[in-house]
């Protein structure tokens, strides 16, 4: 049985004080159920870099994991504006989101650069959450699978089979991010199944079948159940709805096994 993952991508929101406050609220919501929830799922928050130290403190003793929204592939050097994987690890970061569509489309990160970042964080024993997703234009011209499979293959090109356990993939259609327009569970499952097949080619069947495939793009407490009911959707990468404790906690509890 694959573990599920529910990850909150805070993007460029919440400074250190706000991060502390949201985590305190989240813990009030989720800590009482932590033992139950942790049976089949992980919960993660990914604050902006500057809020990571405060978030780490606020998470002490919690089972909620700490993530970052990017990382460089080298561990030190002349890379103005970048953060190294070991700097993140020093604060207890376990996962790094890479290749988010905002990194690709606003900041021009290429498949090649993203592949180097993925390999760099995995080399430092961090988990990579590789994001892939097509634009509306690409979907409309029938290029969805071609685009996401190219992003997947380039993103993982330097990852060795023995490191498959450090890989998580998030399918986030660009047209669904922050738009209130979610992919239907069927649309998402179709892409997830293709991603799974490609992962089997890369890592072999059994390792690929253990990789969590997240859906992201306007996930809410209302639509998450139907999404994760699909066989290849193993959780969610949540933007807007992760900024409020009540909505993120409701998403995290989705489809949980009954007592």
User: Could you list the active site residues?
Assistant: 100, 172
Work out how close the CB of 238 gets to ligand PGA at its nearest, in angstroms, rounded to a whole number.
5
- Interface map 176-215 toward ligand PGA (x if CB under 6 A): -xx-------------------------------------
**Residue among 14, 64, 36, 86 nearest 256 (CA):** 36
**Residue among 43, 41, 67 nearest 56 (CA):** 67
Distance CA 158, CA 121 (A): 11
237 binds ligand PGA (CB under 6 A): yes
216 binds ligand PGA (CB under 6 A): yes
- What is the phi/psi pair of residue 58, to 5°? -65, -25
Nearest residue (beta carbon) to ligand PGA: 239
Helices 144-155 & 111-123, crossing angle to 10 degrees?
Answer: 40
Work out how close the CB of 74 gets to ligand PGA at its nearest, in angstroms, rounded to a whole number.
25
**169 contacts 213 by C-beta, under 8 angstroms:** yes
**Closer CB to ligand PGA, residue 52 or residue 84?**
52
**Closer CB to ligand PGA, residue 7 or residue 84?**
7
∠ CA(125), CA(166), CA(231), 5° rounding?
A: 165
**Closer CB to ligand PGA, residue 76 or residue 184?**
184
User: What is the binding site for ligand PGA (CB under 6 A)?
Assistant: 9, 172, 177-178, 216-219, 237-241
């Amino acid at each position: 049985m694959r573990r599920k993952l529910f990850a909150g991508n805070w993007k460029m929101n919440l400074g250190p004080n706000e991060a502390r406050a949201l985590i305190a609220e989240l813990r009030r919501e989720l800590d009482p159920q932590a033992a139950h929830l942790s049976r089949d799922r992980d919960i993660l928050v990914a604050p902006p870099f500057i809020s990571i130290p405060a978030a780490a403190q606020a998470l002490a003793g919690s089972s909620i994991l700490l993530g970052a929204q990017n990382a460089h592939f080298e561990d030190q050097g002349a890379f103005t504006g970048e953060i190294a994987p070991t700097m993140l690890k020093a604060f207890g970061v376990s996962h790094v989101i890479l290749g988010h569509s905002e990194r690709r489309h606003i900041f021009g990160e290429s498949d090649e650069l993203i592949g180097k970042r993925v390999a760099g964080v995995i080399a430092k024993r961090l988990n990579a959450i590789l994001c892939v997703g097509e634009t509306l234009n690409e979907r409309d011209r029938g290029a969805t699978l071609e685009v996401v499979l190219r992003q997947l293959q380039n993103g993982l090109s330097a990852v060795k089979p023995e490191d498959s356990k450090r890989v998580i993939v998030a399918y986030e259609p660009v047209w669904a991010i922050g738009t209130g327009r979610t992919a239907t569970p069927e649309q998402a499952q179709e892409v997830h199944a293709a991603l799974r097949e490609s992962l089997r080619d890369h890592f072999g069947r059994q390792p690929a079948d253990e990789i969590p495939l997240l859906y992201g793009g306007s996930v809410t407490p209302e639509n998450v159940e139907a999404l994760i009911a699909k066989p290849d959707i193993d959780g969610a990468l949540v933007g807007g709805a992760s900024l409020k404790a009540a909505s993120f906690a409701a998403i995290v509890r989705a489809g949980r096994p009954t007592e």
